[in-house]
Amino acid sequence: MRTEIATLGEFGLIDRLTKGIKLENESSKYGVGDDAAVLSYPSEKQVLVTTDLLMEGVHFDLTYVPLKHLGYKSAIVNFSDIYAMNGTPRQITVSLGLSKRFSVEDMDELYAGIRLACQQYNVDIVGGDTTSSLTGLAISITCIGEADKDKVVYRNGAKETDLICVSGDLGAAYMGLQLLEREKSVLKGEKDVQPDFSGKEYLLERQLKPEARKDIIEKLAAANIIPTSMMDISDGLSSELMHICKQSNAGCRVYEEHIPIDYQTAVMAEEFNMNLTTCAMNGGEDYELLFTIPIADHEKVSQMEGIRLIGHITKPELGCALITRDGQEFELKAQGWNPLKEEK
């Protein structure tokens, strides 16, 4: 069954996609259905706003990304930015650019993923827009969140002797992407052939259906720890560390042996003949949290499951370096994904 979007029109499509949405957050006063949404935040809160634009062919490939997964991931990457400020996401607006090859049913799938993410993280869909596109699918999501005024965490607060922590493990999403790209080229043009991904499910999940680390923010709050700086790892650990150090006017030392890596990631890197540490440092799209804490919180954090201490902040003149297992020092380079960099 395929229903052309033109048969519903823009407003018909929006009505269909947003039907039955109930507002769950107190700050959401009025959602979809008027010229603008109405939000109301208490005066002791800071309002956080982030936006992400995802373009087909640049950020995702529909050859192997199911639309429902894409919807879920599009919402999650925005939630992750709010958590990275030590906040809580509350509302999103969703704007779509659609070419003629997409049907109403395709948009149902995409929205099913967005709505699932919103249910899981208790976020309201309060508005958006749809328009036609000549270049495939474009997804723009804006997320609005809140944080207590004295608890917002920026990138620029890291101090000398602070400890550097990461949540989860790194490099898995990148290896999942490599795996999908390989299978796409191997199966080019072949119909009805299903690649065998058994034993590699974790890598695919990390690439296709990432999660935002709400749990880590809650753990830190419960332990009364406010990070001195924080960001999420979307472009690779190396690149994000350099952002924090640059904005905090600091240097850092991170230790190769402490970087958390999953077993499947290691196996896959070997299969691809790739350097495992390079994959973990530069892979990106893990959406884990990278943060610094005062040395006084060392004991509290070292007992928390899902958080690893990987290094410490230094004086700016010492620069940013990775200390290898055999004690060598390598200057960190931002080899993460930079979409606007010219190809050499």
Q: List, as residue ranges, the binding site.
A: 35, 50-52, 59, 81, 111, 128-129, 155, 232, 234-235, 285, 337
CA 134, CA 314: separation in Å to the nearest integer? 49
Token representation of residue 42: 């208490």
- The CB-side HSE value for 246 (13 A sphere, CA atoms) comes to 9
CA 80, CA 289: separation in Å to the nearest integer? 8
Question: What is the three-class DSSP state of 167?
Answer: strand
Question: What is the three-class DSSP state of 290?
Answer: strand
Q: Annotated binding site for Mg(2+): which residue ranges? A: 35, 50-52, 81, 129, 232, 235
Place of tokens 């990457």: 77
Q: Annotated binding site for ATP: which residue ranges? A: 111, 128-129, 155, 234
CA 242, CA 90: separation in Å to the nearest integer? 29
How far does CA 57 lie from the centroid of its chain?
18
Stretch (H or E) spanning 110:
helix 104-121
Helix axes 201-208, 172-186, angle to 10 degrees: 100
Place of tokens 């640049």: 58
Token representation of residue 197: 């991904």
Q: What is the strand order of the sheet 124-132 is part of?
A: 45-55, 138-148, 88-98, 124-132
Q: Annotated binding site for substrate: which residue ranges? A: 59, 285, 337
Type of residue found at 317? E
